[in-house]
Amino acid sequence: MLPKLNRLKKKKDLKLVFKKGKGFKEDFLVLKVLKNHLKNSRFGFIVSKAVSKKTTLRNKIKRRLRELVRIKLKKIKKGIDGVLIVQPGLEVKDFWEIEAALNRIFKRAQILKKEKN
């Protein structure tokens, strides 16, 4: 589970990322990123009813994304707010396809730390 201090919960924080954040799109994912001047990075997840009318399926998608972000948290730069927006089509993808798309979108957004050789 994604730790509470790494979650974007407040509506005003989400709106700020939407308004001023830079957007990136990959497959059925959209990532909005904004610097937050904090010691940790925070993420929010949005899965609309357009993806699926079933709440259980929308929650399953959010759980998968939260887990993927939690795994990658050590590799993500500090001080970033990110919102992942899911578009219709992702509900048919499996965990590994979602992970590959997330890796690509994080690389394009340049929020991953440089790996030391």
Residue 36 has pLDDT above 80, yes or no: yes
- Structural domains of the chain, with CATH: 4-109 (3.30.230.10)
Residue 75 has pLDDT above 60, yes or no: yes
For 81, other C-beta atoms within 10 Å of its C-beta total: 22
pLDDT, tens digit (0-9, with 9 covering 90-100), for 50-69: 999 999 999 999 999 999 99
Of the pLDDT bands very low, low, confident and very high (cuts 50, 70, 90), residue 1 is confident
What is the reported pTM? 0.91
Q: Angle between the 95-109 and 55-72 helix axes, to the nearest 10 degrees?
A: 50
3 state DSSP class of 10: coil
List all residues 6 or more positions away from 30 whose beta carbon is below 8 Å from its beta carbon.
23, 24, 84, 85, 87
